[in-house]
Amino acid sequence: MHQEYTIIEGDFVNAGKASSSVKKTLKQLDVNPSVVKRVVVALYEAEVNAIAHAYGGKVLVDIDEDKIHMVVADKGPGIPDIAQAMQEGYSTARPEVRDMGFGAGMGLPNMQKNVDKLDVKSTVGVGTTVEMEVNFS
């Protein structure tokens, strides 16, 4: 099953819509609730990052029998040092983003912790692509 969602620049109100919808789909498919939570927490963090740190983008989701594959690709400033960005507590979040409840520097570490495969690719001045996979069992 393939699903696509668009993330609109600055659209904080709708951040998490893709994750909500994926949550409903996985519940319907009777995926183990603790696995569902891992999937949606990671996807939500990636969605928020695409709005908080970039200018929106796309979410591509592929669900098959035994796993879910997610890609969050944004247009944005990119991440100059991915290893640094992965460190807990590292954040360049703007004050507006902090006011929205984000900017703890925990999103990428949260993704890492919750998924079975995480691949972050980024080109400075172009954008960032976060690819994640979670096995259902």
Partner 1 sequence: MTLREIVDSLEATVHLGEGNLDTEVSHAFASDLMSEVLTLSDTPLLITGLCNMQTIRTCDMANIDQILLVRNKKPTDEMLELAEDNDMTIISCRYSMFKTCGILFQKGLLPLY
Ligand X SMILES: Nc1ncnc2c1ncn2[C@@H]1O[C@H](COP(=O)(O)OP(=O)(O)OP(=O)(O)O)[C@@H](O)[C@H]1O
* Position closest to Mg ion via CB: 107
Nearest approach, Cβ of residue 125 and partner 1 (Å): 26
Q: Which does 37 bind (CB under 5 to 8 A by kind): ligand X, partner 1, Mg ion, none?
A: partner 1
CB within 8 Å of 131: residues ≥ 6 apart:
69, 70, 71, 117, 118, 119, 120, 121
Integer CA distances (angstroms), 20 to 86, 99, 126, 128, 134, in order: 25, 22, 28, 22, 17
Nearest approach, Cβ of residue 64 and ligand X (Å): 26
- By CB under 6 A, name the binding residues for ligand X: 45, 49-50, 52-54, 74, 76-79, 85, 90-93, 102-108, 128
Contact positions with Mg ion (CB under 5 A) in 20-79: 49
Q: Which is nearer to partner 1, 6 or 123 (CB)?
A: 6
CB within 8 Å of 99: residues ≥ 6 apart:
none
SS3 label, residue 131: strand
Length of the chain: 137
* Position closest to ligand X via CB: 107
Nearest approach, Cβ of residue 91 and partner 1 (Å): 9
Cβ pair 129, 73 in contact under 8 A? yes
- By CB under 8 A, name the binding residues for partner 1: 12-16, 19-20, 23, 33, 37, 40-41, 44-45, 48, 100-107, 110, 113
